[in-house]
Each structure stands twice: as structure tokens, then as C-alpha cells.
């Protein structure tokens, strides 16, 4: 009997603007892939959190160190366990490239997309988060939609989270198959 296929190391980043469902999908994916989940919000420094809490959008100088911290943690998780899922807005191509470089392993992005009205509805119903709904417009303005060369999987977030997770796992499996890697979800 041949040995089981070796899992190629990889990271999955659930990306999108605030309220798109990154954390929900990321946690589900991590559970199904039996790997760590990193909440991108946890990697912001106190100054950036205070700035957002005050309704001030972050700029690149706020985001670069945050992306580096998250990318380093994701890279360490991949090195230790072979895979990781993270939630991160990753709004610009340059941010996505910075994350890929910091992680140092195959990194796949899943863009959670929703209309502005739906996002605003979600943000106004969310409690206990420092990101005010007033910053949605700045995030939407900053979002650089993926180009065709980025191979980013886009999902309409009006579907239930479990279905989004199933679609993402199928995409990862198909994508990994073409790259010669193996992605298996656990039965959780």
C-alpha cells in the first residue's frame, strides 16, 4: 500500500471589507481543515484599534506592521502544522503580496463579497466590535478587486456560512489537485 500523500503546506486568507463574514468563514474553514485560525483583528496594535474606534480609517503606515505580524504568525503556523486559516481584510493587491511573502508558503485568498446595503446592515447589527459602520465607505474605496492573475476565489456572502465553507473547500481541493497538493477536510 502506498504511503498517504503528503499535504503541501498552505494558508487560506478569508478576505473582504468589515462585515463581509471573514471571521465566520475563517473559523468554519479552520475547524473543517483541523488547523489553527488566526483572527486578523487580534494583530492590530493598540494605536490602530484606537484610531478605528474613533472613526478614523487606517492608512498604509498603519497596515504594513499589522500585515507583517499576521503574515509572520501565519507562516509560523504553516511551518509547525502544515496549514492555517486567517481572516484579514487584505484590501489591496500590495497587502495580499505582502502577506504571501511573509507567510512563505502557498497562500490562497477567498474574497467575501456583499453589496453595500447588506454590509451596512450587518455592521449596524454587530455589537462589541471596535470597527464602526462609518468606516465602511473608506474600506470599500480602498478595496482593490482582484485581477484575473491573482486566482482569488470570490463568494457572494448572502449564502449561509456552511455553504460558503463547502464551496471554499471544493475550490481548495480543485486548486490543490491542479497543483499536485492534497487538501482534505475533517468530518467536523
Q: For 12-71, what is each residue's pLDDT tens digit?
A: 999 998 888 999 999 999 999 999 999 999 999 999 989 888 888 888 999 999 999 999
Is residue 28 included in any domain, yes or no? yes
Is residue 152 included in any domain, yes or no? yes
Q: Give the domain range for residue 122.
A: 10-179
CATH number of the domain residue 96 falls in = 3.40.50.300
Q: How confident is the model at residue 187 (pLDDT cuts 50, 70, 90)?
A: very low
pLDDT reading at 181 higher than 80: no
Is residue 61 included in any domain, yes or no? yes
pLDDT at 133: 61
pLDDT at 180: 37
Q: Which residue has the higher pLDDT, 169 or 137?
A: 169
3-state helix, strand, coil in the chain (%, to 5): 55, 15, 35
Total domain count, the chain: 1
Is residue 1 included in any domain, yes or no? no
pLDDT reading at 146 higher than 70: yes
Amino acid at each position: 500500500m502506498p504511503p498517504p500523500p503528503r499535504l503541501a503546506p498552505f494558508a487560506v486568507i478569508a478576505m473582504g471589507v468589515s462585515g463581509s463574514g471573514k471571521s465566520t468563514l475563517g473559523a468554519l474553514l479552520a475547524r473543517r481543515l483541523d488547523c489553527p485560525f488566526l483572527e486578523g483583528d487580534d494583530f492590530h496594535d493598540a494605536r490602530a484599534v484606537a484610531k478605528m474606534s474613533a472613526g478614523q480609517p487606517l492608512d498604509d503606515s498603519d497596515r504594513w506592521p499589522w500585515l507583517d505580524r499576521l503574515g509572520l504568525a501565519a507562516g509560523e503556523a504553516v511551518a509547525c502544522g502544515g496549514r492555517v486559516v486567517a481572516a484579514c481584510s487584505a484590501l489591496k493587491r500590495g497587502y495580499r503580496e505582502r502577506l504571501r511573502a511573509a507567510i512563505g508558503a502557498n497562500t490562497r485568498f477567498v474574497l467575501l463579497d456583499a453589496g453595500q446595503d447588506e454590509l451596512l446592515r450587518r455592521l449596524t447589527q454587530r455589537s462589541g466590535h471596535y470597527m464602526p459602520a462609518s468606516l465602511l465607505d473608506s474600506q470599500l474605496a480602498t478595496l482593490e478587486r482582484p485581477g484575473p492573475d491573482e486566482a482569488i476565489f470570490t463568494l457572494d456572502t448572502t449564502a449561509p456560512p456552511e455553504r460558503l465553507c463547502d464551496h471554499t473547500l471544493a475550490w481548495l481541493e480543485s486548486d490543490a489537485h491542479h497543483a499536485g497538493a492534497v487538501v482534505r477536510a475533517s468530518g467536523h
